[in-house]
Amino acid sequence: MNTLQASHVEDRSTPGRARAIEAIYAAGHHLLSQERPRDAAKVFRLMLKVAPHDERGWLGLGQCHEKAMQPHVACELYGAGSVVTANTGTASVRCLLARARILKALGRDPDDALQAADEVAYELDDEELIALVSNERRRLS
């Protein structure tokens, strides 16, 4: 099971709820792809309330703020997302990587966030995530 699946377990307790969460995410994703970050933000905020452990809500909302040129707010959301998802047993590698990216973009040191992502990816023994972190390290170095 990869991190993404692991972080969704709790929120997908019933089929109806799981479908609703997928629908919310799909709607937010669609709005973001249409370059409507403010509308997408409303949907992702709803997703945070319905499925706070789902890393995709935090990633989506952070992305809305990045598109709205609010990198500091995005940075905080990725940070909170990585902690909240950690409550399920594994921190969100993707939230940590998103935070590393934004820190780098803000001229700050992304190494600690990358290191944390690296540790979690190895702990999970997830090849996809390990490769993702490795790629990110080379890209941001």
Partner 1 sequence: MSLATTSAASVASSSSSSRAVAVSPPSETPLMPEPAPAIGSPGDALSLLYLFEDRDQDLGVEEGTSKIASLQAQRNQEFQKETQAIAKEDEAAKHRSFWDNLGSLFSDIAKVAGVVASIAAAVCSFGAATPIAVVAVAGAILSSASLADGEFHILQKLGVDPSIAGDIDLGMSLAGAACSMGAGMAAAGQSVSDAASAVSRVGSAASGAATVVQGASDVEAGEAQSDEERADADQVVAQAQSDHDLRLMQIVIDELQSADEESKQMLTTIANAKSTLDQTATDVAISVRG
Site for partner 1 in 1-30 (CB under 8 A): 4, 19-20, 22-27, 29-30
Report if residue 48 touches partner 1, rule: CB under 8 A: yes
With CB under 8 A as the rule, give the number of residues binding partner 1.
80
33 forms part of the interface with partner 1 (CB under 8 A):
yes
Cβ burial 42-79 (10 Å sphere, 16+ → b, else e): ebbeebbeebbbbbbbbbbbbbbbbbeeebebbbebbb
Question: Which residues are CB-contacts of 47 (< 8 A; sequence separation ≥ 6)?
Answer: 21, 24, 25, 28, 54, 56, 57, 60, 61
> Site residues for partner 1, window 51-80 (CB under 8 A)?
52-53, 56-80
In this chain, which of 95, 121, 124, 126 binds partner 1, going by CB under 8 A?
A: 95
Closest separation between CB of residue 1 and partner 1, Å?
A: 14
**Does residue 120 touch partner 1 according to CB under 8 A?**
no
Q: How far is the CB of 32 from partner 1 (least distance, A)?
A: 5
Q: What angle do CA 90, 74, 44 make, to 5 degrees?
A: 75
- Asked whether position 124 contacts partner 1 by CB under 8 A, the answer is no
Choice between 27 and 125, CB closer to partner 1? 27
Q: Please report whether residue 99 would count as binding partner 1 according to CB under 8 A.
A: yes
122 binds partner 1 (CB under 8 A): no
